[in-house]
Chain A
Amino acid sequence: MPRIESNELGSMMGDRGTLDRLFSAAYEELRRLAATVRRDDPGATLSPTALVNEAWLKLAGSPQFASASRLHFKRIAARAMRQVLVEAARRRNASKRGPGQAFIVTFDEPLAEGAVSGSNLLALDVALDELARIHPRQATMVEARFFGGLDLGETAALLDVSEATILRDWRAARAWLAHELRQMPSP
């Protein structure tokens, strides 16, 4: 499993500093997104789309992104979101299992739901890698839609296929991923 430091993104951008800022931005946006759910904030205007837009604005000044199109950037950002989330889930799981837990606290609530979703996310990550092997375009599509919040039109433009194709691909890939996840042992 690729670590956050060395991955496809790195080769996309080549610059540790930029990568670092990209992950920071992705992380902070995800945090804020999570916080709106926790506050049960119906007026929250945050959406993955907005997040990626914002990350773009933050990073658009970096030389590495200067030449990237907005769409290309969104794809990169989607990948960053995925990796940050997966890495966070991995750390959560690890810290629940053994020592090394940083911050000893008394919890009033069980962690069940978060734990389940965290594991599922890791499973999804594995399944997506498998999908990338057998059908790279579908894997990119899932990543762009699910983690990057690209809309139908943008996803179609990114992958240079029709919107109808995207809809068909999504339906099939979604069913396939769901099936894979069901069969996978909890990591």
Chain B
Amino acid sequence: MDSNRWEIIQTLFHGAADLPESERPAFLKNACADDESLIAEVLALLEEDAQSHAVLDRDLAHVAQDVFAAEIPPAPRFQQIGPYRILKVLGEGGMGVVYLAERGDLHSVVAIKLLRDAWLSPARRERFSSEQRTLAQLNHPGIARLYDAGTLDDGTPWFAMEYVDGIPLADYCRRNQSSTGQRLQLFRAVCEAVQYAHQQAVIHRDLKDSNILVKSEGNPRLLDFGIAKQLESFDTPADQTRTGLRLMTPAYAAPEQIRGERVGVQADVYALGVILYELVAGRLPFDLTARTPAEAAAIVTEQEPVKPSVVVRPTAGAGARDSVSKTEWADLDVLCLTAMHKDPARRYPSVEALTRDIDHYLKGEPLEARPDTLGYRLGKFLVRRRRPVAAAAAAFAFVVGLVIFFTLRLASERDHANRQTAIATAVNRFLSDDLLGRGDPFQSGKADESLVDAIRQASPGIDHKFADAPEVAARLHLTIARALDNRSNFSDARQEFERAHALFLETGGPLSEDAVAVQLQRAVMEARSFQPQGIATAKSLVAAQEPLLARIPHPRAELKVWLLTAKGLIALVESDAKSANHYFEEAVDASSRAPELDEIARFNLRQRLAFTYIRLGDGATAERLARQLIAAYSSLKGPDSPYVLRVRLNLAQAFMIERKFPEAVQEANEIYPIFLSKLGPDHELTMQLLATRAQSEGSLGQFDDSVRDDLIIYNAAVKKQGPLAFYSIATLSDASVGQCRADHFADGERSARQAHEASVKAFGPRSALAEGTALPWANCLIGLGRLDDASRLLEGIDGKVVAELTGDPDWGAAVSLAQAEIALRQGRLVEARKSLESARPAFSRPDAEAYQKRKLDELSEMIYHRPPSQ
């Protein structure tokens, strides 16, 4: 059919359709002359017009259901996914199906999530595996755990997680008629789990009642990290930095989520606020069930919720369940409405802050939050904080005022932009040098910590205050980022870096030198963060910035320094000490031409250069550089200055590399108390110092001391970075070495296995860390007499990889020594001799580690003095 004919047919069709059926044949006969085929065609259409059609009259929902119906089996019997037998479908959503499944051999029940239709788009696959990675990273009693993962034969990915046999939080409270106190306790447990996720740099973004199940024993569990955002992943596509919003359940979505804006931890705070509201008021803050999406969006973004106390008052239902006083109701109102504030900047700044106020409520103490009617002002902020913070905030407010004054005054001047930059730099200097104590962790007493806290809390207000001067705002964010970075507060620093970057892009375009500098500084931070995602992020940042840098005609020398530093750190973490050394030599050289760099940056460079020599195993050069730095900075900054102390840590490390263990232990003993008091037990540098001491003690045969130190570090590291962080794993493995050398084989084996499994999970089975943790495990297994298991483990080890990671050139020899012991105990004397002899050169040197030396001697004696018949 062609277009013309279709026009004719349509005209006839409409003409006929308007007539009673009996008159149509005559009409058509007349209109079509005698064109029978035309008449037939129009009649056929009229016939279709009169009856319904299976597809065309069906609504899209049913059509979709028909198309998708086939693959959800109503009763999936005898069905198997990996080692699991499917019991039933638990639920289904946009991404996939969740099954209840049973693992026969372990008698355990799990929930299995399966991605459907992976063919559709790589983005779905990526989202699915991102949820899996997120779960793997989260290890908390309040979060459903990941157990297992795999793919079906056709490549469909699945993972198994903890099955939570519970009921949604609000239901649970209703059924048990929980008191307000009990509700808040449950809610507090939820907050703890969310806070933990935030510490692991994960934003849930879909917190709601139905995603929090309470088991019969009364412990809530968080589920469904399907749209969680990894704060680490940086250059994520738009749908990941923005919420995958589910508009039809917008009840828990924060206004900024509804608007599709950038979503941070504050979105989770908002959702928690809604959950709390529901728990105390007995209903959701807004009734959106009968609303269109647009109406719902308008309500969530614009309408103020009714106070929970007002909701409860007329019905007396929920209120009657226990006696909540009038003042307590006022506090509950403040708690809910502060968490749920429309403006993210006016909510609780973190889940921790919300939890603190919950605790205040439960203890009958005054809340930190105040009713919003008084307004959020810095002045208000000053009143309710302790004095040092008040002073800090006042100082900050003063700076802000100063900047606004200058910005306004200079707005009319011609070289506005230049001057603004000059002012911004001055402010930046003032903030970083004077207010934030040079961003130096050693100068941070408690008061200073709260200062950073104060400024961090003020941070969301910066953009608003400096709306007319985005570059100033950018510099403030950058300064705060660097201060947080220097305190190893990576997740907060990351947000500030991102903000600074966005603003610099806004003002300077894609080739803004400042924007590039921000990204490279962030790369430096990511690389040194020692978090699993850190290196990948650092690399992608470097890869993105390097071409931009090449396109800037005459870039500031500072940029080159940051680039080289980032590359150097990446190389360091990737155990490429040689390249790292090269990069840092170059960076130190470039820094002499970069006046923008501050003292801390220069110092860090030289200190890292010294550190690369430690990694290269060149203890002597490291010791020399460290002593030079100590001398230079002792006269410049004083012998107890933070700079000097930090290099003394490197000196201790250099001693250790040089196998001057008593000196290393002595140096560590001297500075440990200072680290402890100034940085606290959880600080990264304190941990490094302890690690150095532990290893030196171990080398001196003081295993109980070394295990004690290692376990302190391990616990601190887990608390801070989670069990899958590089540090946590490496220290646990070190602890296992000490335990097994002190003949505590069962404990040691447990630690070693845990460390190895964690390293495989976090870094992969072929990673240097996985190999590095395999040897201690093997040695413990030998101690337990599990020789075959030990042997299998050792087979996969490539001594060189680990030697580079640890800076221990004798690692390969240590593997041979373990193999010699296995062969000996299995009666394979020829192999035992061969392995022993390949280990001998390393461990018969005078400077060899005492334990290994002794082991070599013992094995030699047994192997060569053993009757050949055995």
Contacts and interface: CB of A to CB of B under 8 A. Distances in A.
Q: Do A and B form a real pair?
A: yes
A49 B115 CA distance: 26
Contacts of A168: 14
Contacts of B314: none
Interface string A12-55: 00000110110111011111111111100001011110110110
B434 interface: no
A46 B44 CA distance: 35
Contact of A179 (B48, B72, B73): B48
A35 B260 contact: no
Interface string A163-185: 00000100110111111011000
A157 B665 CA distance: 80
A32 B94 contact: yes
Interface in A95-141: 96, 100, 102-103, 105-109, 111, 113-118, 120-121, 124, 134-135
Interface in A53-109: 53-54, 57-63, 81, 84-85, 87-89, 91-92, 96, 100, 102-103, 105-109
A64 to B, nearest CB: 9
Interface string B231-250: 00000011101101111100
B65 to A, nearest CB: 4
B45 A84 contact: no
Interface stretch (B56-64, B420-428, B744-752): B56-64
Contacts of A176: 6, 9, 45, 48
B48 A182 contact: yes
Interface in B125-162: 127, 152-154, 156
Given A48-B59, A106-B76, A120-B54, A111 B70 contact: yes
A61 B119 CA distance: 25
A138 to B, nearest CB: 9
Contacts of B14: 168, 171-172
Nearest to B3: A134
Contact of A106 (B65, B68, B77): B77
Given A32-B94, A37-B61, A135-B3, A20 B122 contact: yes
B33 interface: no
A88 B246 contact: no
A21 B237 contact: yes
Contact of A118 (B66, B116, B123): B66
B67 A21 contact: no
B74 to A, nearest CB: 5
A149 B63 CA distance: 13
Given A21-B238, A31-B93, A60-B260, A37 B156 contact: no
Contact of A102 (B152, B238, B246, B292): B152
A47 to B, nearest CB: 8
A31 B127 CA distance: 16
A175 B13 contact: yes
B10 interface: yes
A147 B61 CA distance: 10
Given A174-B56, A179-B48, A45 B10 contact: no
Nearest to A115: B70
Nearest to B243: A58
B413 interface: no
B63 A32 contact: no
Q: Say which size band chain B's interface belongs to.
A: 35 or more
A61 B61 contact: no
Nearest to B237: A17
Contacts of A147: 60
B550 interface: no
B49 A175 contact: yes
A176 B43 CA distance: 11
Given A21-B237, A34-B67, A102-B153, A61 B60 contact: no
Given A45-B289, A121-B63, A168-B14, A21 B53 contact: no
B55 A124 contact: yes
A62 B238 contact: yes
Nearest to B258: A57
Contacts of A48: 59-61
Contacts of A91: 117, 119
B17 A43 contact: no
B242 A46 contact: no
Contacts of B49: 171, 174-175
B293 interface: yes
A50 B93 contact: no
A152 to B, nearest CB: 15
Contacts of B64: 30-31, 33-34, 37, 85
Given A37-B61, A108-B73, A117-B67, A50 B293 contact: yes
Q: Please indicate which of the listed interface residues B46, B53, B62, B258 has the most CB atoms of chain A within 10 Å of its own CB.
A: B53
Contact of A23 (B1, B46, B120, B258): B120
A46 B247 CA distance: 10
Contacts of A120: 54-55
A120 B116 CA distance: 23
A82 to B, nearest CB: 10
Contacts of A34: 61, 64-65, 67-69
A107 to B, nearest CB: 6
B95 interface: yes
Contacts of A84: 120
Contact of B68 (A20, A31, A108): A31
Contact of B238 (A47, A61, A111): A61
B61 A20 contact: no
Contact of B239 (A59, A109, A179): A59
A57 B60 contact: no
B71 interface: yes
Given A172-B13, A175-B45, A28 B94 contact: yes
A45 B2 CA distance: 41
Nearest to A102: B154
A37 B124 contact: no
Contacts of A54: 245-248, 293
A179 B72 CA distance: 32
B260 A178 contact: no
Contacts of B248: 45-46, 50, 54
Nearest to B91: A35
Given A23-B121, A88-B68, A33 B239 contact: no
A177 B56 contact: yes
B293 A103 contact: no
A27 B124 contact: yes
Contacts of A18: 238
B260 to A, nearest CB: 5
B75 interface: yes
B247 A50 contact: yes
B48 A53 contact: no
A53 B247 contact: yes
A38 B152 contact: no
B95 A59 contact: no
A182 B237 CA distance: 44
B299 to A, nearest CB: 14
Given A45-B289, A57-B260, A24 B121 contact: yes
A31 B121 contact: no
B182 interface: no
Contacts of A100: 154
A47 B248 CA distance: 10
Contacts of B289: 43, 45
A45 B525 CA distance: 46
Most buried by A among B48, B78, B156, B289: B48
Given A53-B293, A57-B260, A182-B48, 9 more contacts: A34-B69, A35-B65, A35-B93, A37-B62, A48-B61, A102-B153, A120-B54, A121-B66, A135-B6
15 contacts: A20-B121, A21-B239, A28-B93, A31-B93, A33-B64, A37-B65, A38-B72, A46-B61, A54-B246, A57-B260, A59-B239, A61-B241, A103-B154, A118-B66, A118-B70
Interface of B: 1-3, 6, 9-10, 13-14, 17, 44-46, 48-49, 53-56, 58-79, 92-95, 116-117, 119-124, 127, 152-154, 156, 237-239, 241-242, 244-248, 258, 260, 289-290, 292-294, 297
